[in-house]
Chain A
């Protein structure tokens, strides 16, 4: 079983890297780009867990380690093995 966790800055927190990317896109002429927020993606390969256990573990590690909740927020999902494989194609 795989889990995917997306960590991003909270809307209230300035994201200097996202701003730099936005400025680059505007320089390239993509004037439709209003804003860019840069984040991180974690893919966990899980073993020996039921789906319920995984649903408890994934947000726990996100809260405890992967995200700093003072400045960041996160979303997560469990991926079936097939879906995960398809994604890499």
Chain B
């Protein structure tokens, strides 16, 4: 699988993401400049973390208008894989490829720490190497990660198995204390109904080498790498 890492002015996890994909996991990876129109034949577009365009106005609000993002939108609509991490997740929300919006963290602090997230749907192309209910330890680093969606949208996400990750404690319990940023129902990652676009606030690219404290981020990338080049779909959660 060929990966493309999008670079916006203000991206600051682009090199980390490239390193994780290419240096650690050995994948064919290219950088994609935000002003270009060419996706260079990649199978998966990764929108990395950072502060695209300074995050002025709202996080991700201006990045969505860049020329490359119009191509990414078409690519996603045709079933191409798109992974948005942190600021990349915020951009996908602003772009309308994923439902909902981000509010400032409930404690009004920039939170930079390792957290635990529970895999709520292990049937997606981004999580199939993990087990349902598995607890991953992956760092977060954000100011605006307090996920919000209107009640009707939340019910649809829940019903379709589109909630992929929830914040939890080390034993997998989701409660108020584990929900570090105040997200609706502790949501840390959501996927679109078609199952090819995932947004997540935690940074899997910062958790691929034991030297850095965790290798749990590999589950996300390895799931993608091992997936057939065909189109992934979400699966319903077993009830």
Q: B180 → chain A, closest Cβ, in Å?
A: 14
A contact face: mostly helix, strand, loop, or mixed = loop
Q: Which residue of B lies closest to A70 (CB)?
A: B101
Most A C-beta atoms less than 10 A away, residue of B100, B104, B146: B104
Q: Which of A14-22, A28-36, A52-60, A78-86 contacts B (4 or more CB under 8 A)?
A: A14-22
Q: A61 → chain B, closest Cβ, in Å?
A: 12
Partner of A17, one of B57, B108, B149: B108
Residue A3 is within 8 A (CB to CB) of chain B in the complex? no
Residue A75 is within 8 A (CB to CB) of chain B in the complex? no
- A14 to B94: give the CA distance in the assembly, Å: 19
The answer to whether A16 touches B103 (Cβ under 8 A) is: yes
Q: Which residue of B lies closest to A9 (CB)?
A: B103
Partner of B148, one of A13, A17, A65, A66: A13
The answer to whether A16 touches B105 (Cβ under 8 A) is: yes
- A68 to B59: give the CA distance in the assembly, Å: 11
Residue B106 is within 8 A (CB to CB) of chain A in the complex? yes
**B interface, size bucket:** 10 to 19
- A17 to B149: give the CA distance in the assembly, Å: 19
The answer to whether B101 touches A68 (Cβ under 8 A) is: yes
Most B C-beta atoms less than 10 A away, residue of A12, A66, A70: A70
Contacts of A71 in B (CB 8 A): 101, 103, 148
Contacts of B94 in A (CB 8 A): 68
The answer to whether B104 touches A65 (Cβ under 8 A) is: no
- A68 to B60: give the CA distance in the assembly, Å: 11
The answer to whether B150 touches A70 (Cβ under 8 A) is: yes
Q: B3 → chain A, closest Cβ, in Å?
A: 29
Q: Which residue of A lies closest to B65 (CB)?
A: A65
- A52 to B91: give the CA distance in the assembly, Å: 33
Residue B58 is within 8 A (CB to CB) of chain A in the complex? yes
- A62 to B3: give the CA distance in the assembly, Å: 35
Other A-B contacts than A12-B150, A16-B182, A66-B57, 10 sampled, CB-CB below 8 A, are: A13-B103, A13-B148, A14-B106, A16-B103, A16-B104, A16-B105, A16-B146, A17-B104, A17-B108, A68-B101
Give 18 A-B contacts (CB < 8 Å), ordered by A residue.
A14-B148, A14-B182, A16-B103, A16-B105, A16-B106, A16-B107, A16-B108, A16-B182, A17-B108, A65-B57, A65-B61, A65-B65, A66-B57, A68-B58, A68-B94, A70-B148, A71-B101, A71-B103
Residues of A that sit less than 8 Å from B by CB? 12-14, 16-17, 20, 65-66, 68, 70-71
Residues of B that sit less than 8 Å from A by CB? 57-58, 61, 65, 94, 100-101, 103-108, 146, 148-150, 182
